[in-house]
Amino acid sequence: MTALRHIFRDPVAAFGLLVVLFAVFVAIFAPWLAPYPDDAFESHLLQRLRPPSMEFPFGTDNLGRDILSRVILGTRNALVVAVSVVLASMLIGVPLGLAAGWKEGWMSEVLMRVTDVFLAVPQLILALALGQLIAPGIGAAMVALALTYWPFFARTVFAETRRLRGALFVDALAGIGASPARILFLHVLPNAAPAILVRATIGMGFTILTAAILGFLGVGAAPPSPDWGLAVSEARQHLPEAWWFPTFPGLAILLLVLGFNLLGDGLRDAADPRLRRSRR
């Protein structure tokens, strides 16, 4: 738990952790925290586009829904999407990276070339193409994001496995007859865990941002979902009058991504002192 202590000693990283924990809390208790929990789906045309007030701190949107409630409810969506995408990419990328890193040969060569192909196009573009071809909607967008993000995990784990395979203790384990699977999952994987964790944290921020872009472009979440990116997109037709409409969902994206990025930075520093360059 030295990593955690390191995070707390670094005020900036601690702030990131705080934001993330806060977001998780909000996501879990969203229906109880939101002043108008049913506003994700109901519309009240009589109170359209009201500016921020005591009644509606963030104002109301084009269908008269409370924006604060929708931002709170949207937190859950954003986190669920990001966690699922990152977990799915991990499930694909980590075993492939382990396998390719452990055994040299044409299989590992092919695998790494495949990651090259996926990394040859910016993730968003690939996700757009994939998501559209599978089927429009948030489900397909999530699949597409996972399909474009796994190579990052594969690369990270591959590098760690290659590094550890040369380590003395792995030789010793092989010498006493431990099976490769046992060595990989009980010894190599825990050692690669910090790198995976850092990659996952940064991936969370990245996925939230990319998913928001997809939502904004109309390829991700569909109405009446309280998705933040979608809300900004819906707000465009009501500018410049309803300035509050795009502002608050956008700030929510900024804050949450900032939280994950700061936390990721802090974790990276804690995991590898050699990389502490960034805040020297």
Partner 1 sequence: MAFYIARRLLLALPALLGLVFLTFVLSRVIPGDPAATLAGDAATPAQLAEIRAQYGLDRPILEQAVIHVRQVLTGDFGRSVFSGRPVAEEIAQRLPATLELTFAALLLSTLLGVPLGLVAALNHNGPVDHLVRVLSVGGLAMASFWLAIMLQLFFSMELDILPLRGRVDVEIGMPPLRTGLVLLDSLLAGRGDIFVDGALHLVLPAVTLCLPGLATIARFTRSGVLETLQKDFVLYARAAGYGRVRLAAIYVLRNAVNMVVTQIGLLFGALISGAVAVEAIFDWPGLGTYAVQAILSADYKALLAVTLVVGVVYAVVNVLVDVAQALIDPRVAEDAR
Would you tell me which residues interact with partner 1 (CB under 8 A)?
12, 113-114, 116-126, 128-130, 132-134, 136, 205, 209-210, 212-213, 216-219, 229, 232-233, 235-236, 239-240, 243, 246-247, 249-250, 253-254, 257-258, 261-262, 265, 277-280
Distance CA 264, CA 273 (A): 14
Residue 227 region, left (φ>0) first, then alpha (ψ -120 to 50), else beta? Answer: beta
Q: Which of 189, 192, 204 is nearest to 265 (CA)?
A: 204
Radius of gyration, CA atoms only, the chain: 22
- Least distance (Å) between residue 166 CB and partner 1: 21
Taking CA atoms, 30 is separated from 55, 101, 159, in Å, by 18, 42, 40
C-beta of 31 vs 122, nearer to partner 1: 122
Residues 242 and 81 sit within 8 Å (Cβ to Cβ): no
- Least distance (Å) between residue 187 CB and partner 1: 32
42's CB contacts (< 8 A; 6+ apart) are 65
C-beta of 85 vs 128, nearer to partner 1: 128
C-beta of 23 vs 184, nearer to partner 1: 23
- Least distance (Å) between residue 190 CB and partner 1: 29
C-beta of 98 vs 128, nearer to partner 1: 128
- Least distance (Å) between residue 120 CB and partner 1: 4
- Least distance (Å) between residue 280 CB and partner 1: 5
